[in-house]
C-alpha cells in the first residue's frame, strides 16, 4: 500500500465516502436552499457551480486536507518559481511565463524578455499577413493558412481557432494538417491555391515523423506548382525549439518563431505554436487570450485552496475517481464553437496524468486519470446521454456554456441553454418510480402495462456534474478556461504524485513505427516481431509487390 492510500487524509475521505454514498443529491438540495450559492466559485470571468456533486458539509474540508497533506500549495509555488517540476525530463513546465506580464525566472534567468521578443516578431509577421503586405512568390496576399503539426503542435491552435471563429480575418482561411495519412494533406491541398497559401510547420522537436512527412510533401507540391525553390521562403514558416533542424529543412532563420524546452507540447498554444491562431484572430485578440489565462493564473496562485477554482475542480475529480470509482469524465460543451474542446482536453488530461508510476518510479495503487471524452450538446443528448442517465456506470460530466451567443438566431440560444440546464438537473434529480407511475397514470396507463414500463422509465439520478458558465466565448474567457483545466491537471498530478509533464508513452509510438517502417520498405530480412505483427507486415508487403503502396522513393523518411 502506498503512503497516499494509507495517509490520514485519504483514509478519512474513504470513511466519509461511505456516509456520502448513502445520501442523494436531491435530498441535499431540498434540505439546503443555499447549496448552489455555497458551492459556486467565480474567477477570471468563469463561474463554476459544483453543487451537483456528492458533497455534504464535511466533504470539501476533507478534500482540502488531502490537498494540504500532499502540499499542493507548495507545488503551485514551484511551478511559478520555474522549478524543474518535470523531473524525468529535468526541466521546468513554465507555460505560465508565456502569459506573464512581470519577470519570471527559471534556471536563474528571466525568460519574459525572450517571450516578449518572439511575440513582437509574431506581431509584425501576423500584421503583415493580415494586411496583405506579406505576399506570396507571385505577389499575391495570403488566403490560406495551413498549420502542419500534430499532438500539442496541432490540438491547441486547432481547438482555439475553431472556438474563436467569430474573430477570424475574413480573407484568411485556416487549415490544420496533422495525420500522416496522405488523405489529410491531399484534401487540404485540393482546396487551396499555392500562390496564396502559407504553410506553418509547427514542431517543438522538428523530428516528428508525421509533421516532417507532411511538410516535405507540402513543400514538394508548392515548388512544383510555382516552379521555383525560391517560393519556399515566402510560403513556409516554422515554429520550433530546434533551430538547427529548421535550418536543415531549408527554412530561413527569419521565418522561424522560436520557443523553449520549458514549454510542453500540450501547453504550447500560448507560445509561437499559437501563430496560426494569431493569424486568424489577430495579435490583439491573441494577447487577450493570454490575458484571460493570466487572470486564471493569478487566481490559482493566490486564492485559498477551498476557493481556488482549479484546485476545487481537481479535488472533485479525485473525489469521483478515487473514492467513488468513476472511470471517465464527459466534457459537454453547449457551444458549437467548442466542438474540439473535448479532444483538446483528452490530450491535456490523459497525456499529462495517464500514468501508473509516481515521480519516484513507484507504481500507484490507486486510479489516476480517467478517460476523457465528449461532444457538444445538444448533439450528444441524441447519442450517448442515454448511458449518462441510465447506464450501469456513473460518468461525471463537465457542462460548459456561454450565457451569450455570437449568433443570436431566434430562440436557438434559449433552447440550447434550456437543454444544458435541464440535463444537469435530470442527472442530479433523476426520476423516482412514484414520479414515473404518476406520469404513466396521466397518460392513461394502468395495471400490468403500467408496471411493465416503470423500471425502464426510472432514473436513479444522483449523478454528478459541474456547470462551467462563461459570459461569452471570447479570447479572454477561452484563455481562462484552458488555464483552468491546465491547472486542474497539475493539481491532480500533484496529489497522485505523478509527473504531469512528460509523455514517455508518446515517445514509444514514435520509436516503434520506425522499426516497422524499415520492414515495410523491404527487401531486407524483417526484424523480429510476434506472429501477428509479422503477419500484418507480410500482408502489406504482398500487396506492395502487386501494386506499390507508396510512391517508390527513398526520401528522408523511408
Catalytic residues: 351, 382, 510
* Residue 152 contacts ligand G6Q per CB under 6 A: yes
430 belongs to the binding site for ligand G6Q (CB under 6 A): no
| Beta-strand pair 46-49/40-43 | antiparallel
All three cell numbers of 9: 487524509
Q: How far apart are CA 89 and CA 176, in angstroms?
A: 29
| Minimum distance of ligand G6Q from residue 132's CB (angstroms) | 30
Distance set, CA 410 to CA 337, 404, 413, 466 (Å): 18, 13, 8, 28
Q: Quick one: 265 or 377, whose CB is closer to ligand G6Q?
A: 265
Give how far Cα 310 sits from Cα of 43, 470, 486, 490, Å: 10, 15, 8, 9
CB of 501 to ligand G6Q, least distance (A): 8
Among 150, 332, 350, 473, binds ligand G6Q (CB under 6 A): 150
**Which residue number, 150 or 345, has a Cβ lying nearer to ligand G6Q?**
150
Distance CA 294, CA 291 (A): 5
Residue 199, classed as helix, strand or coil, is strand
Kindly tell me which of 163 and 238 has the beta carbon lying closer to ligand G6Q: 238
Three-state secondary structure call for residue 145: strand
Cβ nearer to ligand G6Q, comparing 152 with 430:
152
Tell me the closest approach of the beta carbon of residue 479 to ligand G6Q, in angstroms. 19
Per-residue cell: 197? 497559401
Q: Does 151 bind ligand G6Q (CB under 6 A)?
A: yes
Beta bridge mates, 465: 397
Binding mask 197-236 for ligand G6Q (x = CB under 6 A): ------xxx--x--x-------------------------
Q: Interface with ligand G6Q includes 158 (CB under 6 A)?
A: no
- DSSP state for residue 305 in the 8-state scheme: G
- Sign of the Cα pseudo-torsion (109, 113, 117, 123, in order): positive
- Return the half-sphere exposure (C-beta side, CA atoms, 13 A cut-off) of residue 131: 8
For residue 510, report the phi and psi dihedrals to the nearest 5 degrees: -65, -40
C-beta closer to ligand G6Q: residue 369 or 394 = 369
Measured from the CB atom, the residue of 263 and 394 that comes closer to ligand G6Q is 263
Look up residue 529 and give its three cell numbers: 516481431
- Count, residues near ligand G6Q per rule CB under 6 A: 15
> Grid coordinates representing 72?
499542493
Query: Are the CB atoms for 359 and 426 separated by under 8 Å?
Result: no
506 is a contact residue toward ligand G6Q (CB under 6 A): yes
500 binds ligand G6Q (CB under 6 A): no
Looking at residues 347 to 366 of the shown chain, list those that interact with ligand G6Q (rule: CB under 6 A).
351
In the complex with ligand G6Q, the residue whose CB is nearer, 91 or 463, is: 91
**What's the closest the beta carbon of residue 412 comes to ligand G6Q, in angstroms?**
35
Shortest separation between residue 455's beta carbon and ligand G6Q, angstroms: 45
Nearest distance from C-beta of residue 369 to ligand G6Q, angstroms: 14
> Counting contacts by CB under 6 A, is residue 153 touching ligand G6Q?
yes
> What DSSP character marks residue 110?
E
Q: Which residues contact 113 (CB under 8 A, 6 or more apart)?
A: none
Instruction: Print the binding letters for residues 258-287 with ligand G6Q: x by CB under 6 A, - otherwise.
Output: ------xxx---------------------
CA distance 548 to 558: 14
Binding site residues, ligand G6Q, CB under 6 A = 150-153, 203-205, 208, 211, 264-266, 351, 503, 506
Amino acid at each position: 500500500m502506498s503512503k497516499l492510500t494509507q495517509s490520514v487524509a485519504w483514509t478519512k475521505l474513504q470513511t466519509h465516502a461511505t456516509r456520502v454514498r448513502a445520501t442523494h443529491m436531491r435530498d441535499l438540495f431540498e434540505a439546503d436552499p443555499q447549496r448552489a450559492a455555497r458551492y459556486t466559485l467565480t474567477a477570471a470571468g468563469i463561474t463554476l457551480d459544483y453543487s451537483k456533486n456528492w458533497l455534504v458539509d464535511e466533504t470539501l474540508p476533507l478534500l482540502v486536507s488531502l490537498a494540504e497533506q500532499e502540499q499542493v500549495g507548495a507545488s503551485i509555488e514551484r511551478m511559478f518559481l520555474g522549478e524543474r517540476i518535470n523531473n524525468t525530463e529535468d526541466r521546468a513546465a513554465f507555460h505560465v511565463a508565456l502569459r506573464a506580464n512581470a519577470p519570471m525566472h527559471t534556471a536563474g534567468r528571466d525568460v519574459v524578455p525572450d517571450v516578449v521578443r518572439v511575440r513582437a516578431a509574431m506581431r509584425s509577421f501576423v500584421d503583415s499577413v493580415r494586411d496583405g503586405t506579406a505576399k506570396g512568390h507571385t505577389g499575391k496576399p495570403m488566403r490560406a493558412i495551413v498549420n502542419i503539426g500534430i499532438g500539442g503542435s496541432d490540438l491547441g491552435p486547432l481547438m482555439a481557432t475553431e472556438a474563436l471563429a467569430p474573430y477570424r480575418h475574413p480573407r484568411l482561411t485556416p487549415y490544420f494538417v496533422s495525420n500522416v495519412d496522405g488523405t489529410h494533406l491531399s484534401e487540404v491541398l485540393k482546396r487551396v491555391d499555392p500562390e496564396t497559401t502559407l504553410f506553418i510547420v509547427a514542431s517543438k522537436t522538428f523530428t516528428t515523423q508525421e509533421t516532417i512527412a507532411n511538410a516535405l510533401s507540402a513543400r514538394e507540391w508548392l515548388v512544383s506548382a510555382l516552379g521555383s525553390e525560391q517560393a519556399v521562403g515566402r510560403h513556409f514558416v516554422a515554429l520550433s525549439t530546434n533551430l538547427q533542424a529548421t535550418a536543415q529543412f531549408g527554412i530561413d532563420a527569419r521565418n522561424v518563431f522560436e520557443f523553449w524546452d520549458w514549454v510542453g507540447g500540450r501547453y504550447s498554444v500560448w507560445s509561437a505554436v499559437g501563430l496560426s491562431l494569431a493569424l486568424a484572430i489577430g495579435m490583439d485578440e491573441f494577447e487577450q487570450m493570454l490575458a484571460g489565462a493570466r487572470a486564471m493564473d493569478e487566481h490559482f496562485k493566490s486564492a485559498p485552496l477551498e476557493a481556488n477554482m482549479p484546485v476545487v475542480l481537481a479535488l472533485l475529480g479525485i473525489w469521483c475517481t478515487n473514492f467513488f470509482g468513476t472511470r471517465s469524465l464527459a466534457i459537454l460543451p453547449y457551444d458549437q464553437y467548442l466542438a474540439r474542446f473535448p479532444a483538446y482536453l483528452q490530450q491535456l488530461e490523459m497525456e499529462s496524468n495517464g500514468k501508473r508510476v509516481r515521480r519516484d518510479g513507484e507504481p500507484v495503487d490507486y486510479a489516476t486519470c480517467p478517460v476523457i471524452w465528449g461532444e457538444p450538446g445538444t448533439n450528444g443528448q441524441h447519442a450517448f446521454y442515454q448511458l449518462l442517465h441510465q447506464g450501469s456506470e456513473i460518468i461525471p460530466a463537465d457542462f460548459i456554456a456561454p450565457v451569450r451567443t455570437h449568433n443570436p438566431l431566434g430562440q436557438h440560444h434559449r433552447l440550447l441553454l434550456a437543454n444544458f440546464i435541464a440535463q444537469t438537473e435530470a442527472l442530479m434529480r433523476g426520476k423516482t418510480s412514484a414520479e414515473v407511475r404518476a406520469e404513466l397514470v396521466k397518460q392513461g396507463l394502468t395495471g400490468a402495462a403500467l408496471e411493465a414500463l416503470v423500471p425502464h422509465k426510472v432514473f436513479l439520478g444522483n449523478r454528478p456534474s459541474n456547470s462551467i458558465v462563461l459570459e461569452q466565448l471570447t479570447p479572454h474567457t477561452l484563455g481562462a478556461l484552458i488555464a483552468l483545466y491546465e491547472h486542474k491537471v497539475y493539481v491532480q498530478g500533484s496529489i497522485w504524485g505523478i509527473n504531469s509533464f512528460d509523455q514517455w508513452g508518446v515517445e514509444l509510438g514514435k520509436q516503434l513505427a520506425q522499426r516497422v517502417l524499415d520492414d515495410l520498405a523491404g527487401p531486407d530480412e524483417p526484424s523480429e516481431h510476434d506472429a501477428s505483427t509479422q503477419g500484418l507486415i507480410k500482408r502489406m508487403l504482398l500487396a506492395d509487390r502487386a501494386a506499390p503502396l507508396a510512391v517508390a522513393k527513398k526520401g528522408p523518411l523511408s
